[in-house]
Amino acid sequence: MIDFNVCVIGLKARKDRWDRCKEVLQGKVERVTHYTTVQNHEDSYKGYMTDWLKMLKMFQGEPLMFFEDDFEFTDEFDEVFPKAVAELPDSYDMLYLGANLQAPVKKYSSHLVRVNGAWLMHATLLSPKFIDYILQVYPGSNIKIADEWYRRIAPHREFYMTMPIISYQRKDYSDFVGRYVYYDIFSNKYYKRAYESFESDTRLPAASPCGGRVDGPRDE
């Protein structure tokens, strides 16, 4: 059970995505907020990030389990998530349930690695102090999408990721780029190295198989 405020953000027009989110979350949360947006066709990213910041203001003062509406869980979620949360230091900023790593990670505990740079924000646990930090300093006029900003500030923040990854973005049609996309984060070279290292030290659950691949920064 996810014992935090839970919010899923997505386009109002994509009822199909919300229906799938409810299926994925069934039995894992008592209540979930569905924060809907309307696509700004003149500047999709600016419109999305403006709505994202408004959504964060609703949850100031408490941790927030934040999902984008194309997330999925692996079979290991129920086992790994509570253990990873229990191992987080009080000073954490953010926990990725999965990410497209852009730099090597360092083992922190039995189910956590310290992240030094990554893309994807589809499934993250945000601390109250990090929500405050985002609202104070996020440079919306300079960076179109928050996960690139996350990548840049990671070396100076306390970002962690579950080991193994327990959430990924499913292959789906992106209204932002006008095509089907999928980010095969399980094949990421930094993740594979970390997973193999953990596997040699600790008996980890086997990674859930996923097919397909799209490289590069994520798109909605």
Domain covering 5-201, topology: Spore Coat Polysaccharide Biosynthesis Protein SpsA; Chain A (3.90.550)
* Phi and psi at residue 181, to the nearest 5°: -135, 155
Mean pLDDT confidence for 184-194: 96
Nearest CA to 89 among 112, 105, 67, 121?
112
Please say whether the beta carbons of 193 and 175 come within 8 A. Answer: no
Mean pLDDT confidence for 182-195: 94
**pTM for this prediction:** 0.88
Mean pLDDT confidence for 178-185: 80
Say what the pLDDT of residue 215 is.
34
b (16+ CB within 10 A) / e for 187-216 = ebebbeebbeebeeeeebeebbebeeebee
Nearest CA to 120 among 103, 97, 153?
97
The Cα 72–Cα 183 span in angstroms is 12
Instruction: Please tell me which residue, 213 or 15, carries the higher pLDDT value.
Output: 15
**pLDDT band at residue 216 using 50, 70 and 90 as cut-offs:** very low
**Every domain of the chain and the residues it spans:** 5-201
For the chain, what is the mean pLDDT? 87
Sign of CA dihedral 201, 204, 209, 214: negative
Say what the pLDDT of residue 203 is.
52
**pLDDT band at residue 108 using 50, 70 and 90 as cut-offs:** very high
Alpha helices in the chain (DSSP H): 15-25, 44-57, 77-87, 128-137, 146-153, 189-201
pLDDT digits (tens, 9 = 90+) for 123-135: 999 999 999 999 9
Say what the pLDDT of residue 205 is.
55
Mean pLDDT confidence for 3-17: 93
């100031």: which residue's tokens?
60
Q: Report the percentage of the chain scoring pLDDT > 90.
A: 70
